[in-house]
Structure 1
């Protein structure tokens, strides 16, 4: 059983009584900025391949299989990085992965400039995804464990907005500047620039006090809390013994935790599968829809992505997690089903449900940064977040690989119907299993 390991906060110490009660400090902004930068880099890397894939296909005469593999490459890496390194983050700590994963991302991103062989480009993008997978596990985990409770939802939800900014910027640059093969490779390599900046800003980041407490290193945790956050730890609990890797994964599905894990798995996978599939092949979809001025429509959709992400933060702060996830899944399901039903209608009639889906999906995606971190206690948090991120990337990779085949064999309308079916599954799982976790995360105990 956990045992108390901390006295009450000292009278007259000048420190806030706990991490959750700490005032907003410059260090909070630093952790937030570097985690934001990581999400921007992720969105930029994933958005850029979709933006230049048409150019590379024409220049390199890529088959449908290679298009699918390149579109899914970073997602495949994200799966392995999240699953493997998420557990590593619970064993060795958050801080080392938080820094060193961006060394890999920066180098692999720059090398894309010379990766004219599709197999080499695929391998580099898998490595980029592997590094980003580590960050999906430890980035939100670090931020959730440092951030005061009253700001945690806003800060974690904002990660998706910055992801969307990177994704949209990549889409705009790729659409308007990536018309030649040389330009496409230059644009892919520019992903090294934000990654290098994130790496520099992360140097000197301390270890998470919550992780230190979970390892029985309470004195170090107190020193970090006092030095960087000007606060005490409050009441802390030290686990009797750290979980092994095998027991940690079993614990994800243990009684009392399994329902949350199954919900997180279905919720995250159902949300991102249609998103990545549709937006990786958006130029192809708009071409199949035969819409007037496809580039302008693509820009409009990207702007709705940004607007939806920002507006979603308002709802995230003011509503519970459970009603928000149920409502957004239901709206997205109906919207994509209408896109399928209206594939032969006018451009205006078709784009309205598409824009609604885009706007709501961008806002709902904020939950993918918030919910996973709130589903697990400290000693399981990086493992759980990494597991959910990893499994969701299997779904994303499958959707990204299958959609071009589906468009060819089933047509656009039935492709939209089965994607709406994925969202319907997410709706049902949310109604049955979604917990209300707003305010639950504890930063100073198990």
Structure 2
């Protein structure tokens, strides 16, 4: 196997965690109508059924940050795969809503772990010229997982207890991740941080040419030597010299989540029903279209992220999502005068265009930036904190959407105008906070903060 092919294999195995992320967050979209019908869930219970994953995600991202620094990137992903297996089984056999919520809490715990450990692991394995592309595999896998969950929803919709089959399907990628992580190496940067330089060199020689591997090891070792007299301390993240990385890690996910992405991912079936699509197969098929657009658009990000750079794609995505969200808001506000057919065109078209621009920018850039901007010494903790904010903001968007959708803000499109304003604020964030990391090694970025 060539070294380039090996890198793609390692990234693909690790990114299976992203596939599970996408599947287990997206499957509730298509399963929820059938669960509501069987158990007569209230709007609040519906919110908890969706948001339990997000609460588990917050816990997983916080609890596992220091474990990743202590145990290693590989073993923490193996732990996550075991939790995925347990959560998939529990949600599929749940005899009552409380059991379903408990299973989704477990799935959220695992998702919280992989949401920071997988991008971190890939970033530390990848050469600088491929890092954007390979880390974006994680976001691509998320979109594929979402699409697969929607397809499972469509395939099992007419089966008795079909929603249970939808959850059972998540067991397969969980088992794949568990097996696959035993076949890939540990992060060489983590090995160096633990004094296991010889093992790190073995890994680097597997993925680089010998001369490049030696240079890479020298750079990593030099960065570690520069920091050898400074013990890891999570409080350093809040020091003045790391203020910009901290703002990036929080701000990128605030803009990402309050752009309304997971209101669309979790509730697109409901949004299309509000736009006049009949319930059942028609709305679910429109939702499958969301998954297809999401996946194809993320492929564009994989192709061009290292070529164009982070900031140009961020600007493009923010402008595109603002226009599409404003279109959706306009469609619902004037729905009485537009007519049903035009409302369907504008709402579905607006959602699809929104997904396209989000998938080439805010989607992959959140995970990529938090895996790049922090020093190695505290990278595990700092990345887990960034992941926590992703789930924290995601929770509030997802929990409040069904409540707001039932209010006047939902019926007149006001909720989408709120999301539009957040995205416009994101343009200021992109201009004054985010910096370009294209072509820089992780050690180059670390030296940038060391010089502050």
The residue number in structure 2 matching 1:5 is none
The residue number in structure 2 matching 1:411 is 410
Instruction: State the Cα deviation string for residues 87-143 of structure 1 (Å, max 9, x = none).
Output: 221233222202122111112212222112111111111111111211122211111
Number of residue pairs the alignment of both structures matches: 421
The residue number in structure 1 matching 2:356 is 359
The answer on whether the counterparts of 1:374 and 1:440 sit within 8 Å (CA) in structure 2 is no
**Structure 2: gaps (5+ residues):** 447-452
The answer on whether the counterparts of 2:118 and 2:138 sit within 8 Å (CA) in structure 1 is no
Evaluate the alpha carbon distance shift between residue 351 and residue 49 of structure 1 in structure 2; reply closer, same or farther with a 3 A threshold. Answer: closer
**Structure 1: gaps (5+ residues):** 1-22
Evaluate the alpha carbon distance shift between residue 444 and residue 328 of structure 1 in structure 2; reply closer, same or farther with a 3 A threshold. Answer: closer
Q: Please point out which of 98, 101, 104 is paired with 2:77.
A: 98
The residue number in structure 2 matching 1:240 is 228
The answer on whether the counterparts of 2:134 and 2:302 sit within 8 Å (CA) in structure 1 is no
1:270 maps onto 2:255 in alignment: yes
Alignment of 1:179-194 (within 5 A): 179=158, 182-194=161-173
The residue number in structure 2 matching 1:298 is 287
| Alignment partners' CA distance in 2, 1:362 and 1:204 | 30
**1:281 match: secondary structure:** helix
Instruction: State the Cα deviation string for residues 198-255 of structure 1 (Å, max 9, x = none).
Output: 10111154332211222333333224334665532233223325644xx22x222212
Alignment of 1:127-276 (within 5 A): 127-179=106-158, 182-226=161-205, 231-232=213-214, 233-235=217-219, 236-237=221-222, 238=224, 239-241=227-229, 243-244=231-232, 247-248=233-234, 250-273=235-258, 274-276=260-262
The answer on whether the counterparts of 2:329 and 2:417 sit within 8 Å (CA) in structure 1 is yes
Report deviation, 1:339. Answer: 0.7
The answer on whether the counterparts of 2:58 and 2:391 sit within 8 Å (CA) in structure 1 is yes
| Alignment partners' CA distance in 1, 2:381 and 2:242 | 13
Evaluate the alpha carbon distance shift between residue 421 and residue 175 of structure 1 in structure 2; reply closer, same or farther with a 3 A threshold. Answer: farther
Q: What is the TM-score of this pair, normalised by structure 2?
A: 0.87
The answer on whether the counterparts of 1:24 and 1:148 sit within 8 Å (CA) in structure 2 is no
The residue number in structure 2 matching 1:16 is none
Q: What is the TM-score of this pair, normalised by structure 1?
A: 0.88
Report deviation, 1:81. Answer: 0.8
The residue number in structure 2 matching 1:342 is 331
The answer on whether the counterparts of 1:161 and 1:306 sit within 8 Å (CA) in structure 2 is yes
Report deviation, 1:172. Answer: 2.0
The answer on whether the counterparts of 1:81 and 1:134 sit within 8 Å (CA) in structure 2 is yes
Higher helix share: 2
The residue number in structure 1 matching 2:427 is 427
- Of residues 420-429 and 227-236 in structure 1, the stretch that sits farther from structure 2 once superposed is 227-236
Evaluate the alpha carbon distance shift between residue 445 and residue 396 of structure 1 in structure 2; reply closer, same or farther with a 3 A threshold. Answer: closer
The answer on whether the counterparts of 1:136 and 1:385 sit within 8 Å (CA) in structure 2 is no
| Alignment partners' CA distance in 2, 1:216 and 1:444 | 21
Evaluate the alpha carbon distance shift between residue 219 and residue 61 of structure 1 in structure 2; reply closer, same or farther with a 3 A threshold. Answer: same
Alignment of 1:20-169 (within 5 A): 24-25=3-4, 27-169=6-148
